[in-house]
Amino acid sequence: MNVPDNLKYTKDHEWIRVEGNVGIIGVTDYAQGELGDIVYVDIDPNIAEIKAGETFGTVEAVKTVSDLYAPVSGKVVELNKKLANEPQVVNSDPYGDGWMIKIEITDSGELSSLLDQEAYKNLIGQ
Amino acid sequence: MKKTTLYKIHEGLGAKLIDFAGYLMPVQYSSIIAEHKAVRNSVGVFDVSHMGEIFIKGPKALDFVQNITVNDASKLTIGRVQYSAMCYPDGGIVDDLLVYKLADDEFLLVVNASNKDKDFEWMKKNNSFGVEINDRSDDYSLLAVQGPKSKEVLSKICNKEIDLEYYHFFKAQVAGIDMILSRTGYTGELGYELYFEGDESVAENLWNKLFEAGKEFGIQPVGLGARDSLRLEMGFCLYGNDIDQTTNPLEAGLGWITKLNKECFIGKDAILKVKSEGLKRKLIALISDEKAFPRHGYEITSDGKVVGTITSGTVSPILEKAIAMGYVDANFAGVEAQLNFLIRNKEIPAKLTKLPFVKK
């Protein structure tokens, strides 16, 4: 299972990559593996902001559906439009082309409550 | 947790294994969608050894089967299979099953893994016919070889010409292993089920021979995930989802296997009563183009009012649409009803359709 060391993680299996005050968010390799074939990523196209710990959308797989939780709060600056037609890239490239939402982080202090690589590996039993 | 004779094979293939009815079973190997399409387009192999095999033997074996199942087993000749169900006296379903007529005095009842012990007790409790009831589930492995190329694959390694009609079986050797070869399945495709005894080495040998024979067709191992999506595309009921002890065969759309003109069987009176009073609810099939997918337990609404519940739902890998079965109040089971899936508090319009979802 791929768990990159340059990301922060939630216990709900989202990741966030921080670039300056911008955060890029997706779901982890472990999450995509557990979900199986992802057929739809449902995020309101008009979503303006997300709040730490609250759901901002859902991921539909053949077998199941899972909520998406915001790692930190922020103003939404971009959604990954590619996912509309190719949701399966979340399976094939969860940390790259499978990113879901880009935000402007409101309070960088919230980042400290997230899991680092080692803590996330522990969570998923690696 | 129990393991099937093919457990090591699944583990070696990197399957995702889950607890299903007390067995560690493969839910998927690579991808449910890829496995699903392999079965629709070519051929796939399922390990369904967790299913229960219960043998009924004795001079009154037919009487026993007639009493405990709803279909008419007297219509079976040796070598034929029948889809049937067992009911409680109140008409609720104990289990759905396959009935194999092995001999005039012997039947094989193939039941769901999750119900096996309950079924076995139910059979013993209702044995006023002095038949032998033998649960041989632990002795038998079961592979399902399903898909348009299944016959070609099996023909290469079977000692007999496979000229079986749908719901017929014979005893044969495949890969030199004695078995019951049955033209049955849970996918809607041409397909066969292979019942055989023996240890891991026997099962692994068969598995390997099947994959050798199927290589040219791109044969794939298929897990329980695709088994579920395949059966749902065909509208086949799954016990525990679409049918259970609270549903009767008529509302479940299983009137075609419920032979009410049969002399008597457990549950007949209650089912006759349901029939004369009219159905209160019906299992219906719904389809939607929206990209939100109905799941087991979600509600069905009409005009903002809850009128039913989804029992099975998913995205169809073939149609790429949301498909579902569920029970609705009988007043809303007609084509004029405007129905919705209630998905995360949003009403998603759905269209009533006829089964199967995927026409064969």
How would DSSP label each residue in B247-285? S-TTTTT-GGG--TTSS--TTHHHHHHHHHH--SEEEEE
The architecture in CATH of the region A11-123 reads Beta Barrel (2.40)
Q: Hey, what are A8's tokens?
A: 């922060």
Q: What are phi and psi of B331, to 5 degrees?
A: -65, -15
Nearest CA in chain A to B17: A34
Do the bridges between strand B177-182 and strand B191-197 make them parallel or antiparallel, or are there none, so unpaired? antiparallel
How far apart, in whole angstroms, are the C-alpha atoms of residue B55 and residue B119? 12
Give this complex's ipTM. Answer: 0.85
- The residue of A34, A39, A86 whose CB has the most chain B CBs within 10 angstroms, and thus the best one to mutate to test that interface, is A39
Q: In what helix (H) or strand (E) does residue A24 lie, and over which residues does it extend?
A: strand A22-27
What rounded mean pLDDT belongs to chain B? 97
CA distances from A21 to A24, A72, B65, B353 (A): 10, 12, 71, 50
Residues of A in contact with B295 (CB under 8 A): 64-65
For residue B209, what pLDDT is reported? 98
pLDDT above 90: residue B335: no
Q: Which of A36, A65, A91 sits opposite B293 (nearest CB)?
A: A65
Instruction: Provide the pLDDT for residue B269.
Output: 98
Q: Residues B163-180: what's their mean pLDDT?
A: 98
Has residue A1 got a pLDDT over 90? no
Residue B294, Cα to own-chain centre: how many angstroms? 21
Largest CA distance in chain B: 61
Distance to chain B for A57, nearest Cα, Å: 11
- Cβ of B31 and A36 within 8 Å? yes
Share of chain B above pLDDT 70, in %: 100
Contact B225 A63 (CB under 8 A): yes
Cβ-based contacts of A91 with chain B (< 8 Å): 31
Q: pLDDT category, B192, cuts 50, 70, 90?
A: very high
Each residue's pLDDT tens digit, A55-84: 999 999 998 999 999 999 999 999 999 999
Residues of A in contact with B293 (CB under 8 A): 39-40, 60, 65
Q: Measure in Å the smallest separation between the Cα of A20 and chain B Cα atoms.
A: 34
Q: What residues of chain A lie within 8 A of the CB of B294, using their CB? A: none
Phi and psi at residue A68, in whole multiples of 5°? -105, 130
Tokens of B269: 């009176």
Is pLDDT larger for residue B172 or for residue B335? B172
pLDDT confidence band for A45 (50 / 70 / 90): very high
Q: What is the pLDDT of residues A3-32, one digit of tens each?
A: 999 999 999 999 999 999 999 999 999 999
In tens, the pLDDT along B118-147 reads 999 999 999 999 999 999 999 999 999 999
**Per-residue pLDDT, B132:** 98
CA distance A102 to chain B (A): 22
Q: Domain spans of chain A? A: 11-123
Using CA atoms, how far residue B129 sits from B59, B74, B136, B346, B355, in Å, is 9, 16, 20, 54, 38
Nearest by CB to residue A37, choosing from B32, B228, B295, is B32
User: Taking 90 as the threshold, does the pLDDT of residue B288 lie above it?
Assistant: yes
Model confidence at A2: pLDDT above 90: yes
Confidence of residue B315 (pLDDT cuts 50, 70, 90): very high
pTM here?
0.94
